[in-house]
Amino acid sequence: MTDARLPSHIKRMQIEADGDSRRWFPETADNLPFMVLAMCGEAGELANIVKKVARGDMSLRDAKTRMAACMEVTDVFTYLLDIAELLNFDLEKAYYVKRAENQRRFGTGAGGGTAGQNGSVLPGTSSNAGGKA
């Protein structure tokens, strides 16, 4: 059993990504619009690879193409970690809260999980209410 007072593994990754951004790009580390747009840019790079795969110009069976796609997904994830840290919430805990909400809305299936086990996700709140993920 984990101690709910300790930061989750993803939260520790958020803190690490934020520290990297502050060292490498101090002028934009606190700029939420920049981080969101940068994440969208990386998602666009992934979309471009997927587009080329879909039209037959590239193949995910090719190791270089697959690696390029994986690196773009990782870039998106890194910006997502930065954004979650800027917004001051634990993305892993929020995921489980949102997953439980979606299970209530759309029905449960295989998979189980630990939805909402850690309580508060955002400072001063008991859940992360919001729209569909």
- Residues 122, 57: one domain? no
Contact 69, 50 (CB under 8 A): yes
Same-domain pairing of 61 and 117? no
Burial group, residue 25, by CB count within 10 angstroms (0-12, 13-18, 19+): middle
pLDDT tens track for 34-65: 999 999 999 999 999 999 999 999 999 999 99
Q: What percent of the chain has pLDDT over 70?
A: 77
Predicted local distance difference test score (pLDDT) of residue 116: 44
Contact yes or no for 10/81 (Cβ under 8 A): yes
104 shares its domain with 67: no
Q: Which pTM value belongs to this model? A: 0.78
Beta carbons within 8 Å of 58's beta carbon, 6+ residues apart: 49, 52, 65
Q: Each residue of 84-102: pLDDT tens digit?
A: 999 999 999 999 999 999 9
- 4 has pLDDT over 90: no
- CA-CA distances (angstroms) from residue 53 to 29, 38, 44, 62, 76? 33, 23, 14, 10, 19
Host domain of residue 25: 9-88
